[in-house]
Structure 1
Amino acid sequence: MAAALARLGKVYAQRVRGELDELTQVAAGLESEADVRPSLEQLHQHLHRIAGAGGTLGFKTLSQAARALEIEANGWLSQDVVALDVAQRRRFADAVATLVDHLSQCETAPTQAVAQAPSARTTAFGHGGKVAVWLVEDEIPLGEHLVHLLGQFGYEPRLYTRFDAVAAAVRDQCPDCLVMDPHSTAEDLGAVEALMTSPSFQALNCPVIFVSANGDFPSRMRAARLGVDGFMLKPLDIPRLVDRIGRILEERHADPYRVLVVDDDRDLAEHLRLVLSADGMDVDVLSEPEQVIEAVATFHPELVLMDMHMPDYSGPELATVIRHHDDLLGLPIVYLSAEQDRAKQIQALRSGADDFLTKPISDTELVAAVRVRAARFRQLANLMTKDSLTGLLKHARIKESIVRELARAQRTGHPLAVAMLDIDRFKQVNDRYGHAVGDRVIMALAHLLKQRLRKSDGIGRYGGEEFVVILPDCDLQMAQNVLEDIRARFEVLPFLHDGHEFRCTLSAGIASTGEHPEADDGQLLIAADQALYAAKHGGRNQIQVSPVL
């Protein structure tokens, strides 16, 4: 990215040099003009843009000099009548002419700090992906038991009995997650620090979960100082461990934040795109503001970053246009502008924007500001669409997905299967062990579904202990095989409560477009529900299919 930013700086320097030559001529004409307001307004507009873009692109001294002249011009323009004597006009014109000298100084020694992309590695994490989980446990029977159970959730577990063996393995391999008991091997505690503080291990950026029989404060503080991502106590609750692994990996491997940059200054917009993209964000640039609604509809940004002053449209005007659409009321809009008048900033925010960032802005500050605001929007969006306990789609959203996938199946002629799943005798689990334990059972099934199904499949919590699964491009036999695998894996999962171990089972019903070619989305779901009813009344812990209509 550094090379790209350097090339962009050269392009900007060439362009702004021509702009400064034009401004010098306009400023020189002030001496002979009877009415200087039009020329002064033109100068003010260009100085404002150079002050903001120049500083962000690394031309610090140019930005500062242009800012001082902009403030002076703004003071004159704020008067009802602009009355400048010959000395003031000449001095201002000379100051504009010297801006090119500041440009030359900046070209020699640019001051912009270059943001660096965080280290990352390719992973198969996601629905149906093989996630490598390494375990460090010297009690071999326990370790093998954990390997078996983690395998039921679709992970690829590997057991180690010594930390030095892990240190050797990570030289050319990397797990998606490392789970270890820091007291489990015959090695001293220094082996843990040696492993986790080694440059080779830190470069992997691998999440680590400690499991220990000792949960006192010093042990937890030691884990925190080593940067451990999770700390769990033995005896280990496997569904809870799986939940922790899943949440950590989902956060680390989430889709990139989508940011729409709206700015008529193409050089500045490209700089913003490079900086934000280097941090892993997905950035689209719009230099034609009148197309903002179309761009939002196709790109689906999680944040709009726009200039407040553009030639034909202002930021507040564009923000108002966006807010006219009900489905865009919650979309974050952040101004990035050289406007430093606090009263004008506040007035602009009243037009529907959420925040104001002032140019020039460092790369580091820009990335941090955008990331935290986009993350907040995603969190709120997830609260609206996803179940808070499982992270799966809510009732209404999964029904919308059925409508969408059924329309696609009918259009392409590909099969579609819909299944309803229900945890057997779940009320007894809640009554006997409490709702907190019941929630862990629900979360375990949710994680099992996410691990064993494809990323293209839809999964939703329909209500309580009931789930809906949408399987595009999947005929009835394929759906039966997939759900039978999930059923078999779920029934062997152990759940713990006060030292007591118990297990649960599930029942499921399937309906497909092959057997119900004329069914609409509601009828397909009803057919799956009827098949689930048959599974319950047929003895539970089984998969039933809806008969041909």
Structure 2
Amino acid sequence: MEQKMAQLRRQYAQKIEGRIADLQTTIHHLKHAEGGARLDNLAIIRDATHKLAGSGATFGFPAVTEYAREMERACIWVLENPGRESDEDAKTLCANLEKLCQRLLDDVVAQSQEAAEVDDSTERVWVPQLHGSARKKVLIVMEYDGTAAAQVHQEMNHYGFDVRIVDHPDKMLDDLKSHGVVDVIVTGLLFDRDTSAALSALAMMREDSEFKDISVVVNTVLDTMSARLGAVHAGAKAYLVKPVDMANLIDVLDRVTQNHEDEQFRVLIVDDDETLASYTELILQGAGMETKVVFDPMDVFDALDLFSPELILLDLYMPTCDGHEVAGVIRQREEYAGIPIVFLSGESDKDKQLSAMELGGDDFLTKPIRSSHLISSVRIRAARFRELRSFMTRDSMTGLFNHTTTKQFLGIELARAQRNKKDLAVVSLDIDHFKVVNDTYGHGVGDRVIKALARLLRLRLRSADIIGRMGGEEFSAILIDTGVDEAAQVFDIIRKVFSEIEFTADDQTFRVTISCGVAAVPDYNTAQALSDAADKALYAAKNGGRNQVVKAP
């Protein structure tokens, strides 16, 4: 299987280099194009990078997926926001596309060279995937009111949904059969002055095996028992009565589609036997897990810092030091004290197994082990760790990292950036006039505003970046491998998008803005200095009129 995968990977690499060369040519044309020609080139780049993003990780090139997805997103934003791109924005876009394209090519060439020297000792490196690196969630809005439908379409685009509008239930099945996959349908009930058309269309959809599992959310002016019963019979997972705040609708859509967004478990394998380690890795990767292999236990801390595993599979007997000693050393580090450590060894003596676990192991699996047993054991413990860690490290309202965890990550990421001579940026931001929102509309509405900003940050930033809620309406973001100018540009886009989101309360609509302060290395070289500089830049943004991004001097 490994040889077949390596062969496919080499073939893919040979083809992909030609595709990247074509992409570079199109980017060159883009630099000199204007008007419709510029949009045509952007569309070509968007389509090409979409294909690369979908195939890269499949053939063992996860960084191809990462870089191609960044390029695709940049093109989509411009194509979906015609006329809003300044000349400076256009130059910056071309420069960023060129940089990403070169990174993409460098990664392919490097990995192709590694693949040409097929060797079981090759270490697999995990590359963090971007949020939204899978396809956008597809949403059908069934609404006869064209104005309301257009508003929903605009708002949902802000939150990363791919929206299609259907103006009558009679057209819904045709739309499904014509356009394919859909994650959720948001529908009213009143069409032609009664509910029969909508409920009949939903019932017909349930009878079709291809579409019966699509989630349905009802969004209607009707608030009667009979209407609600009809929605239940039609399989609706949620029932909302208009007017509905968009942030509240987003929460519901996230809830009914959450099964599609499970992140892969990350497993660190420490084993000096390269053949067995590669075999274990192949099994876990086949089960959809992210893995990293360390053959020398003396390198385990570097792997922990870089990979952030959710479970460690540890061999018991290794030349430089035994597995139980490695477990004991890992437990000395507070940040790794809770990571599950599972020994995977040929040792069958129960007393020796228990003795090893006394120093920090959580379980003991004996080789040889059935693939299904290994996968189940790893998945159960990793899932439990993820759940417990979430309680300790996450803000309960937004799901972002809490204040303490964000500060810890800043120290870790700063040390990594300095060690690898990489860029790192810190952004402090908060919601402008948030007290006015709470005083005017109530704390429940204020909570929806906070959650809306949190979701937008998760959507617009990479999964490798760290996003934290520092308290109240204050947030912080740590942008990996990002300089101060690029960070300011990213957050200026986020600022603009957030300012366009409409919130509803007591039949009133309102908008909210944010202010941001940005600081980066090497201008500031300690975690405290970075944090303080970003905070001071935020204060400058506030004092300068709010709704802006300010870079630290």
Same fold, judged at TM 0.5 (above)? yes
**Partners of 1:148 and 1:533 in 2: CA distance:** 32
What is the match of residue 231 of structure 1? 238
Cα shift at 1:448: 2.1
1:149 CA displacement: 1.7
Distance 1:519 1:273 in 2: 38
Q: Is the 8 A contact 2:516 2:550 kept in 1?
A: yes
Partner of 2:201: 191
Q: Check the 8 A contact 2:401/2:467 in 1, yes or no.
A: yes
Displacement of 1:332 in angstroms is 0.9
Q: Does 1:501 align with 2:508?
A: yes
Kept after mapping to 1: 8 A contact 2:267/2:309: yes
Superposed CA deviations along residues 250-285 of structure 1, whole A, max 9, x for unmatched, are 763444212245678887766644443222112345
1:178 deviation in Å? 1.9
Describe the shift of the 1:348–1:486 C-alpha distance in structure 2 as closer, same or farther (beyond 3 A): closer
Rounded Cα–Cα distance in structure 1 between residues aligned with 2:528 and 2:206: 53
Q: Does 1:283 align with 2:291?
A: yes
1:241 aligned onto 2:241:
no
Report deviation, 1:467: 1.9
Structure 1: distance between partners of 2:180 and 2:394: 31
Amino acid at match of 1:395: H
Question: Letter of the aligned partner of 1:420 in structure 2?
Answer: S
- 1:130 CA displacement: 5.5
Residue 179 of structure 1 contacts residue 211 of structure 1 at CA under 8 Å; is this kept in 2?
no
8 A Cα contact 2:345 2:366, kept in partner: yes
2:360 aligns with 352
Compute the TM-score of the two structures, normalised by the length of structure 1.
0.60
In the alignment, is the contact (CA less than 8 A) between 2:426 and 2:477 conserved in 1? yes
SS in 1 for 2:197: coil
Measured in 1, the distance between the counterparts of 2:346 and 2:520 equals: 58
Query: Are 1:153 and 2:153 an aligned pair?
Result: no
Distance of 1:457 and 1:275 partners within structure 2: 29
Q: CA offset at residue 150 of structure 1?
A: 1.6
Q: Please give the secondary structure, in 1, of the residue aligned with 2:398.
A: coil
Q: Is the 8 A contact 2:131 2:458 kept in 1?
A: no
Q: Percent identity?
A: 35
When structure 1 is superposed on structure 2, of 372-381 and 342-351 the one drifting more is 342-351
Matches of 1:458 and 1:240, distance apart in 2: 24
TM-score, structure 2 normalization: 0.59
Match of 1:545 among 532, 544, 550: 550
How has the CA–CA distance of structure 1 residues 480 and 192 changed in structure 2, closer, same or farther, with 3 Å as cutoff?
A: same
The answer on whether the counterparts of 2:517 and 2:552 sit within 8 Å (CA) in structure 1 is: no
Give matches, 1:279-428, under 5 Å: 279-284=287-292, 296=304, 299-305=307-313, 319-320=327-328, 322-335=330-343, 349-355=357-363, 363-399=371-407, 404=413, 408=417, 418-428=426-436
- Which structure is higher in RCO with an 8 Å CA cutoff and minimum separation 6? 1
Give the whole-Å Cα distance in 2 for the aligned partners of 1:419 and 1:158: 35
Unpaired segments ≥5 residues, structure 1: 6-122
Q: Cα offset for 1:377?
A: 1.3
Runs of 5+ consecutive residues of structure 2 not aligned to the other structure: 6-128
Q: 1:158-196: CA deviations, max 9, x gaps?
A: 212355645444557555732323746563635324435
Contact 2:169 2:198 in 1 (8 A): no
Is the Cα contact below 8 Å between 2:488 and 2:551 reproduced in 1? Answer: no
The structure having more radius of gyration, on CA atoms, is: 1
Deviation at 1:442, TM superposition (A): 0.6
Maintained 8 Å contact 2:518/2:551: yes
Q: RMSD between aligned alpha carbons?
A: 4.9
In the comparison of the two structures, how many residue pairs are matched?
420
| Structure 1 residues 178 and 352, CA gap change in structure 2 (3 angstroms) | same
